[in-house]
Amino acid sequence: MGSPPPVRLIGTPIGNLGDITFRAVECIRGADIVACEDTRRSQRLLSHLDVRDKKLVALHDHNEKGKSERLVERVMEGEKLVYLSDAGMPTVSDPGYRLVNACLERNLRVEVIPGPSAVTTALAGSGLPSDSFYFGGFLPVKSGKRTSELNAALERKETSIYFESPHRIAKTLLLLAESDPGREICIARELTKKFETFHRGTAGDLADEFSGISVKGEITLLVRGAGRNPKTAAS
């Protein structure tokens, strides 16, 4: 018996299913095991790809530690495993970290099949400095920690990027406006989907724009770094 096959982490579309790569499709079709964060979400993707012969295995935050070990055992026996998160890249504010470490503990090779990312998609379309940036994942739910994180973003030199709930974005913008109403902000919503929108402006203006309205969809928040001159930031 030869060496075990590599475990492949596959970047999946963040909205538009047409963004899946040829290489990702090839890896999914060749897999013996397709593990995923949410079987319902991944089944829609596989149906779009006309891949109908795969039984999906759920691997998420609540079962990843124990199930990763069992999946690694199957790989050690020669089965080919791929892992899909709901959208974007596994391990980046998504499950997959424990699976990767379970593989490394057994000296299994891990391959990353790159794909869409809300972080870089939002950054590219924001108009904010993109030469360096900080990604903070999801903003804290508790107001005290969220305020501290937003204050850190206002002091940071790099563009700061966060995921935020549509139910909290109005309050978050109000906090930014109270601290620095003139700071440039971008709200990227429903990226790559039919109703994708970019809202660009100052914290004060966007706080007014989002005040009192019902917001839906996935939100990526970007905050311009401190002391960055808009005319020279790209240089």
Neighbours of 169 (CB within 10 A): 20
Q: How do the pLDDT tens digits run along the chain, 235 residues long?
A: 679 999 999 999 999 999 999 999 999 999 999 999 999 999 999 999 999 999 999 999 999 989 999 999 999 999 999 999 999 999 999 999 999 999 999 999 999 999 999 999 999 999 999 999 999 999 999 999 999 999 999 999 999 999 999 999 999 999 999 999 999 999 999 999 999 999 999 999 999 999 989 999 999 999 999 986 655 444 4
DSSP, residue by residue, 139-161: PPSSHHHHHHHHHHHHH-SSEEE
Q: CA 153, 130, 230 angle in degrees (round to 5)?
A: 80
Are residue 203 and residue 175 in the same domain, yes or no? yes
User: For the packed helices 203-210 and 169-179, what is the interaxial angle rounded to 10 degrees?
Assistant: 150
- Residues 107 and 137 reside in one and the same domain: no
Stated as kind and residue range, the H or E segment containing 73 is helix 64-76
Q: Are residues 77 and 136 in the same domain?
A: no
Under 8 Å between Cβ of 185 and 209: no
Q: Is residue 35 part of a domain?
A: yes
Residue 233 included in any domain:
no
CATH code for the domain in which residue 37 is found: 3.40.1010.10
Query: Do 38 and 65 fall within a single domain?
Result: yes
CA distance 148 to 125: 27
Considering the domain architecture, whether residues 101 and 177 belong to the same structural domain is answered as: no
Which residues are CB-neighbours of 3 under 8 A, at least 6 positions away?
none
Q: What whole-number distance in Å separates Cα of residue 30 and Cα of residue 163?
A: 33
Among 83, 113, 143, give the residue marking a domain's end: 113
Mark residue 78 as left, alpha or beta (left: phi above 0; alpha: psi -120 to 50; beta: remaining): left
- Domain check: are 214 and 177 in the same one? yes
Q: Are residues 106 and 143 in the same domain?
A: no
Looking at the structure, do residues 21 and 39 belong to the same domain, yes or no?
A: yes
Residue 181 lies in a domain: yes
Distance from C-alpha of 208 to C-alpha of 92, rounded to nearest angstrom: 31
Kindly state whether residue 190 falls inside one of the protein's structural domains. Answer: yes
CATH of the domain at 150: 3.30.950.10
Domain residue limits at 161: 118-223
User: Residue 227's pLDDT is what?
Assistant: 82
Q: What pTM value is reported for the model?
A: 0.91
33 and 109, same domain (yes or no): yes
Is 2 part of any domain? no
- The domain tally of the chain equals 2
Same domain, residue pair 109 and 176: no
pLDDT at residue number 2: 78
